[in-house]
Amino acid sequence: MRVSRSAAGAALAVLAACGGDQSRAGSSGTSSALPKQAVANSGGAPGEPCGRALDAVLRCARTAAQPIVPSDTLPAQTAGTAVVFYVDGSGSMTGYLDQEFAESFSSGTGSVSYRRMLSRLSTLWGPRAEGYSFGTRVVPISARSNQDVIAQLVQTSFYSQTDTRVEDVLDQIAKDSARARVHLIVTDGRRDDGASTMAQYKRVGELARAWAADEPGGAGGGGMFALAVSAAPFRRVSRKFGGCWTSDPSGRTTISCPVYVFAFLPRAAANDVLPVLRGASTRLFVAPAVTDTAIALHVEREGGAQAAALRVQGERAAGQALTLLFGPAPADQGTRPFATELTVEADLGRSAARFSVDDSLAVRLFQARLTTGAPRWAEVRPRDLASAWVKPLAVRVDDDRTGIELRMALRTRAQLEPAAYRVEVLSTGMPAWLGDYESASHGDSTRTFGLSSLFEHLRARPDTTRLFGLYGVVH
């Protein structure tokens, strides 16, 4: 099941959830929580049946609900990594600036302007930083101090080159085989012809794949790739420079035009670099996606009889397994299913997973019989979703991009054989915002042509990273 992600604010993500099959009556007259196919796939769960007594179900649930280990995480931070920044010096970039320093183009708090982006990025530039302008050629930026660099970059006179040859910059970055420095490319990503644009993003994707594929224990501690984008205010410039454009020939109309930061960085520098990129942009993508155990989960419940039947363990405890136990059904319910809905709120504010909230997200569901031994999980088929006893309904990112909300439904019924479900929320390795910024044709007034080529070459195969998980037990 897929849920569209809206273009505005904290959008809905992709939900690709799987569920359980219809419950079936066994020869003993009891109802099984697992379909026959799932039991066959699991190879049969070890241990003895738990029985339906609440104490026994709780003991078995604690055995089943082991902490879910992060798929990939960040290494310890290393201070003092040198930064090299490359700023697109082509004339099309002047549209992000105005000489009156109007409010919409300012660098104040809350602004998404190009000046604001430069101001935030400059916090990474230490005394060892190197700066270059690129376009038709790569030229060192001559400056006595960080302040002098910013003074140059916010003036239109800096942007006088007539091309955007990102490939020249990529050649320099490729020489850093030890992943020893942070490399930041700031550009509008636009070229005069479609062929050059597609070739450019192919090259970016290939180099990004090389950096993102590094093993953390390899030379230099491994690398990462990040792409930050802001829909910055922009005014039309001379057509000889290309860039975003409007039908207003006066150049007084302000529109939004994407400005990008391509970042190639050592993993050990991620804790310094990624928060700055996130704060300097509207959207962020990181490869590989990373997470940790610093995610705290909270459950928003319904009231009434459903609340009495729901027990929650491991809530708000980062690093522990959240377990939802639902049942038994009230005696007057008969054989009718007894159901509740709830929302699991994942607080990512202190977790590395917050850098992946702008990704398309997926939800996977696994199931197993609840026994006294370790469960043997079997992933449930998508076609069985409608009849799952534990079912993901929707997933969304909150407005400040620091939390994920997972809406879920749980069902039980009299004489239901206890069963365990494991729910995992994953990044699909693709940005959910790609359609908002990419154009299908070259020459679009504001959106970027060829951007998906970057991700096609970055992702040699489908790639998912588990951000967090939880358990549901029905009885």
Q: How confident is the model at residue 31 (pLDDT cuts 50, 70, 90)?
A: very low
User: Which residues on neighbouring strands pair with residue 365, listed in sequence order?
Assistant: 423
Q: How far apart are CA 383 and CA 259, in angstroms?
A: 41
pLDDT on residue 10:
30
pLDDT on residue 115:
87
Across 413-425, b (16+ Cβ under 10 Å) vs e yields bbbbbbbbbbbbb
Q: Output the average pLDDT for the chain.
A: 82
Residue 432 near residue 11 (C-beta atoms within 8 A): yes
Q: How far apart are CA 272 and CA 65, in angstroms?
A: 34
Length of the chain: 475
What is the number of alpha carbons within 13 Å of residue 315 lying toward its C-beta? Answer: 14
Residue with the larger pLDDT of the pair 107 and 386: 386
Is the pLDDT at 52 greater than 50? The verdict is: yes
Lowest mean pLDDT among 147-151, 255-259, 363-367: 147-151
Q: How far apart are CA 389 and CA 409, in angstroms?
A: 8
pLDDT on residue 42:
40
Is the pLDDT at 398 greater than 70? The verdict is: yes
Q: How far apart are CA 397 and CA 387, in angstroms?
A: 26
Q: How far apart are CA 124 and CA 118, in angstroms?
A: 10
Highest mean pLDDT among 53-57, 149-153, 168-172, 239-243: 168-172
Per residue in 352-364, pLDDT (tens digit) is: 999 999 999 999 9
Lowest mean pLDDT among 57-71, 95-109, 350-364, 416-430: 95-109
Section 434-453 average pLDDT: 85
Residue with the larger pLDDT of the pair 77 and 458: 458
Per residue in 225-250, pLDDT (tens digit) is: 999 999 888 887 766 556 777 777 66
Q: How far apart are CA 466 and CA 136, in angstroms?
A: 42
- SS3 annotation, 39-61: HHHHCCCCCCECCCCHHHHHHHH
Kindly provide the residue ranges of all beta strands, DSSP E only, lying in 222-331, ordered along the sequence: 223-235, 254-266, 283-287, 296-300, 310-313, 323-326
Q: How confident is the model at residue 222 (pLDDT cuts 50, 70, 90)?
A: confident
Is the pLDDT at 405 greater than 90? The verdict is: yes
The residue among 264, 70, 80 whose CA lies nearest residue 166 is 264
Per residue in 109-126, pLDDT (tens digit) is: 667 888 889 889 988 987
What is the number of alpha carbons within 13 Å of residue 291 lying toward its C-beta? Answer: 26
Residue 372 DSSP one-character state: S
pLDDT on residue 270:
92
pLDDT on residue 218:
52
- The runs of H, that is alpha helices, within 300-432 are 304-309
User: Crossing angle, helix 270-279 and helix 114-121, to 10 degrees?
Assistant: 160
Q: How far apart are CA 385 and CA 383, in angstroms?
A: 6
Say whether 280 sits in a helix, a strand or coil.
coil
Longest dimension (CA), the chain: 84
Residue 394 one-letter amino acid:
A
Is the pLDDT at 274 greater than 80? The verdict is: yes
Per residue in 87-113, pLDDT (tens digit) is: 999 888 888 887 655 655 565 666 788
Distances (CA, A) of 152 to 89, 97, 101: 11, 12, 14
pLDDT on residue 102:
61
Residue with the larger pLDDT of the pair 423 and 383: 423
Q: How far apart are CA 253 and CA 233, in angstroms?
A: 10
Lowest mean pLDDT among 62-66, 68-72, 187-191, 221-225: 68-72
pTM for the whole thing? 0.85
Per residue in 181-201, pLDDT (tens digit) is: 999 999 988 887 878 888 999
Residue 236 near residue 222 (C-beta atoms within 8 A): no
Is the pLDDT at 25 greater than 60? The verdict is: no
Phi/psi for 31 (5° steps) reads -105, 130
pLDDT on residue 162:
83
Enumerate the domain spans of the chain: 24-72+293-474, 83-287
